[in-house]
Amino acid sequence: MAPPVRDGGELCGGPAGTGAPGAGVALQGRQGTGDRDPEHRQPASGVGIFPEHVVELHGNTTYARCIGCGTRYEIAWVKERFDETGMAPSCTACGAPVKSATISFGQSMPDDEMRRATELAQHCDLFLAIGSSLVVWPAAGFPVMARNCGARLVIINNEPTDQDDIADLVIRHDIGETLGPFVGN
């Protein structure tokens, strides 16, 4: 049986959800996995997920790292060097390129973060897949893993995903409009 789908303003039976920068949130004591967007880490008036409960599978755009030795750099430093030379800076420690601290296609997923996300997906009661096409693996496997371990699965997205048929609820609508009232927007 297909999950209930909320399509804009109407509840219907059938598929839903894909979209923007994705975030899967495995809710168990306000812990989750995030995808590059630092906004999910800004608790406002008690709403939000605290940084220590966020697993950044695909990294973070608020700072940079050397791809050789992992040295951390602030974005302002990277921008200054880029503005001066028109090129990405080299690491002051090892000379390798410095890029935003995000995982690019072809780079390995970080072991510690993958381990933590697996643990959360296996032990959560509710998994929210928010604004994700759920097609990029291995991260796309977390909703399936959570569901197989007994969690409820909710997918919030504008377009259908291949995982809609296993979801308990699919909401096909803009994630900002859908979640805004719950996060104080």
Please list the active-site residues: 58
Q: What is the DSSP string of 66-133?
A: ETTT--EEEHHHHHHHHHHHSSPPBPTTT--BEEEEEPPTTSPPPHHHHHHHHHHHHH-SEEEEES--
Lookup result for tokens 């302002």: 76
Specify the amino acid at residue 127.
Answer: F
The verdict on whether omega for the bond into residue 138 sits within 30 degrees of 0, i.e. cis, is: yes
Measured distance CA(120)–CA(127) in Å, rounded: 9
